[in-house]
Structure 1
Amino acid sequence: MRLHTKIAMAVGGLALAGTSLLVTTPAQAQGQSSCYAKSGHLYCGNKAGVSLWRSPRYSEHDQDAVDTLNSNPSYFQCYVSGQKHGGGNNIWYRTYGDVSKRTGYVAAESVYTWKDPFPGVAHC
């Protein structure tokens, strides 16, 4: 190969190819960028080990955390509007926990969607 041939390098979620620059989101860099809605439900990558809350809001009270979402990717039943969170919106997704199988809410900031609410997902 000659030096003037396009050289591609991938470094921490960035890909350089000639004069092109591709920047990926953290979810894409982790290979968890494919989310889809089917029959009103969401199937998507997410942060594992996050708490599921009784209501669509964070709480200082431990009893308001009803379960833990350990799976990734996960199934989400639907979405609701709740407390604004670090993701810059107030969308929360309802799902089942992995420890006690209780239903709870996880902030959209913990789900690797590109838009919230995710298109095609039913409102609870």
Structure 2
Amino acid sequence: MRLHAKIAMAAGGLALLGTSLLVTAPAQAQGNPACYAKSGHLYCGNKAGVSLWRYPRYSDVTKDVVDRLKSNPSYFQCYVSGQKHGGGNSIWYKTYGDVNGRSGYLAAENIFTWKDPFPGVSHC
């Protein structure tokens, strides 16, 4: 008996097998524009309403949050290595905030890239 037939029987039938093998894009990437690099900069979808940090690390909110990023998608100037974050790496992207235009860093976990650092983006 072939492997896929065994799987179908174990899953309770062929109809169930068909639905159990569907693969979808991550929820964070659905409905957002594709990321691309141009002239060393990143243009990509991101979580909106997030804080930009003075340094590439999470620290004191009262003195180290410099602005907020409200736009989606957004422009990111370059990347640096900083504190490891919930995205499983230590890549942070530098950009400009939407409230007062100050530059700051956003952890890659908030940007819908498929790889960090994103290919073609310059190191700061």
Q: Which category describes the TM-score, using the shorter chain as reference length? A: 0.7 to 0.9
RMSD: 1.6
The structure carrying a bigger helix percent of its residues is 2
The structure carrying a bigger strand percent of its residues is 1
Q: Counterpart in 2 of 1:27?
A: 28
User: For the Cα contact (< 8 Å) 2:33–2:73, is it kept in 1?
Assistant: no
1:60-111 superposed Cα distances (whole Å, 9 cap, x missing partner): 2411000000000000000000000000000000000000000000000000
Answering whether residue 69 of structure 2 is matched by residue 69 of structure 1, we say yes
User: For the Cα contact (< 8 Å) 1:33–1:112, is it kept in 2?
Assistant: no
User: For the Cα contact (< 8 Å) 2:49–2:69, is it kept in 1?
Assistant: yes
Q: Residue 22 of structure 1: SS of its match in structure 2?
A: coil
Deviation at 1:33, TM superposition (A): 5.0
TM-score, scaled to structure 2: 0.81
TM-score, scaled to structure 1: 0.81
The unaligned stretches of length 5 or more in structure 1 are: 1-17
Alignment length (residue pairs): 107
The unaligned stretches of length 5 or more in structure 2 are: 1-16
Aligned residue identity for 1:94:
K
Bigger Cα Rg: 2
Q: Please, which moves more after superposition, 18-27 or 44-53?
A: 18-27
Q: Which runs of 4+ in 1 moved over 4 A?
A: none
> Identity over the aligned pairs, expressed in percent?
70
